[in-house]
Amino acid sequence: MAFTDEQLERYSRHIILKEVGVKGQKKLMAGKVLIIGAGGLGAPAAMYLAAAGVGTIGIADADVVDLSNLQRQVIHTTDDLGKPKVQSAAETMKAINPDVNVVTYEDFIAANNIADIIKDYDFVLDGTDNFPAKFLINDACVQAGIPFCHAGIIRFRGQLMTWVPGEGPCYRCVFKEPPPKDAVPTCKQAGVIGAMAGVIGCLQAMEAVKFLTGAGELLTGKLLTYDALTNTIRTVNIPEDPDCAVCSDHPTITELIDYEQAACDGLSKDDVAEAAAE
């Protein structure tokens, strides 16, 4: 596969890099990344991965664009209000880079569909904002052996980690079980700075780029945390749990689980759906 002159120019800043080069750009163009959630985290990740020329980008979200999303979900614009998020996201990605093959899944990710959706991808980004979805994505990716990057944001804080088979702990090694319902506020209840979604979503895109090109080190065995108020970025080593319920050699979780969603007081069904797709 030879580059066209237009591709040479579009990707010139990648190709110049010793760590990427022609081979790395070809790996990006052959790469398949699934982004679960076309919200705050998924928006910048999808835009940068499309711009980078990632060959196939899947995007999953059941929600439509709401006015309250636009403070941080920069892939959607005011003109997109009421539109399915996956459609709006796909339009923006195609506008940035028509070469990218975008696959949309206008659906809630659940125990009964996730395995079928993730199976075609090289790398998965968790851009959801609720614990049931995060544990589901972890368990499904571990069971299928598909590398993924977890992230979460709230208020002025964010975190992320990457899991690759055989290279360190999974999300469940570290966090075990979802917290009790309503013990932890969603970002709808607690608030979040829009730029935090940008920072952490971009770090997720960076993990995908490093994974696909093989450049540098991934955040495997490490949890990166960012506190914007104190300008603190920490990378904490996290150990594997030899008795992990899902990734150890004697797992006790062998079927996927749909944990109960936090029942937010006063939230409609649509509101809960939105929270699930952050």
Partner 1 sequence: MATNENYTIADTVDITDVVCPVTFVKAKVAIEELELGEVLSVHLNDGEPLLNVPRSLKEEGHQILALNDNEDGTYDLIVKKNA
Q: Which residue ranges make up the site for partner 1 (CB under 8 A)?
A: 3, 8-9, 12-13, 15-16, 18, 21-23
For partner 1, which is the closer residue by CB, 3 or 156?
Answer: 3
For partner 1, which is the closer residue by CB, 8 or 30?
Answer: 8
Q: Closest approach of Cβ 5 to partner 1, in Å?
A: 8
Q: Render the burial of 100-131: b for 16+ CB within 10 Å, e for the rest.
A: bebbbbeebbeeeebeebbeebbbbbbbbbbb
| Residue that the structure tokens 């995908």 belong to | 208
Q: Which residues contact 196 (CB under 8 A, 6 or more apart)?
A: 40, 72, 153, 155, 156, 157, 158, 226, 228
Q: Closest approach of Cβ 118 to partner 1, in Å?
A: 33
Q: Closest approach of Cβ 106 to partner 1, in Å?
A: 38
Give CA–CA dist 125/203, Å, rounded: 11
Exposed, middle or buried, 91 (CB in 10 Å: 0-12/13-18/19+)?
A: middle
Look up residue 142 and give its two tokens.
């571990």
Judge contact between 59 and 104, C-beta under 8 A. Answer: yes
Judge contact between 105 and 59, C-beta under 8 A. Answer: yes
For partner 1, which is the closer residue by CB, 18 or 269?
Answer: 18
3-state secondary structure of 149: strand
What 266-269 contacts at long range (C-beta under 8 Å, 24+ apart), as own/partner pairs, is 267/188
Q: Closest approach of Cβ 27 to partner 1, in Å?
A: 13
Catalytic residue among 170, 187, 244, 247: 187
Give CA–CA dist 276/270, Å, rounded: 10
For partner 1, which is the closer residue by CB, 16 or 67?
Answer: 16
Look up residue 132 and give its two tokens.
């049931």
Q: Closest approach of Cβ 54 to partner 1, in Å?
A: 19
Q: Closest approach of Cβ 3 to partner 1, in Å?
A: 7
Look up residue 6 and give its two tokens.
């237009």
For partner 1, which is the closer residue by CB, 191 or 216?
Answer: 216
Beta strands in the chain (DSSP E): 32-36, 56-60, 101-105, 123-126, 148-154, 157-163, 222-227, 232-237
Is 187 in the active site?
Answer: yes
Catalytic residues, which ones? 187
